[in-house]
Amino acid sequence: MSHRRLSGWEPKHYTEYIYDSDGRLSGSVETREPEWDTEQLNLLLAAEHLARDVGQHGQLMSESTAPDADPNNYTGGYRYHADGPFTDWAEKAKQDAIDEWKKSAGDDPNMNGMFWGVRRVDDTATG
């Protein structure tokens, strides 16, 4: 789906009616405005290019691997600083539940096809 369609744009429909020599309707041709034009295609390609250039840390790989980013390059102009660690509490709850299940299941449990979901619940302990 194109960006403009996601933004609420809808293509226009045009109908041309065809009449015979006696003025009777003999057919019609419906034309729909194309969803994809050069601009929409370029936006999609740019988004794909950007997505391929972003590393797992959220930074552009083309910048984070450049010589300018090297901390030993004093004229590079920029550096990177890591923040964290941060805890994904939903993922921690999931991994803790998996660990508990593995303990109760015994040695080498078969986990094929198993998954754990996570849901947010109200904390009644808070005031």
Same-domain status, 49 and 63: no
Evaluate whether residue 114 is within a structural domain: no
Evaluate whether residue 72 is within a structural domain: yes
Evaluate whether residue 123 is within a structural domain: no
d(CA 85, CA 87): 7
d(CA 7, CA 4): 5
Structural domain that includes position 96: 57-108
Tens-binned pLDDT, residue by residue, of the chain (127 aa): 999 999 999 999 999 999 999 999 999 999 999 999 999 999 999 999 999 999 999 999 999 999 999 999 999 999 999 999 999 999 999 999 999 999 999 888 999 999 999 999 998 876 6
Same-domain status, 49 and 61: no
Question: Which of 115, 124, 43 is closest to 51 using CA atoms?
Answer: 43
Same-domain status, 48 and 62: no
Evaluate whether residue 98 is within a structural domain: yes
Evaluate whether residue 116 is within a structural domain: no
How many domains, the chain?
A: 2
Evaluate whether residue 70 is within a structural domain: yes
Evaluate whether residue 124 is within a structural domain: no
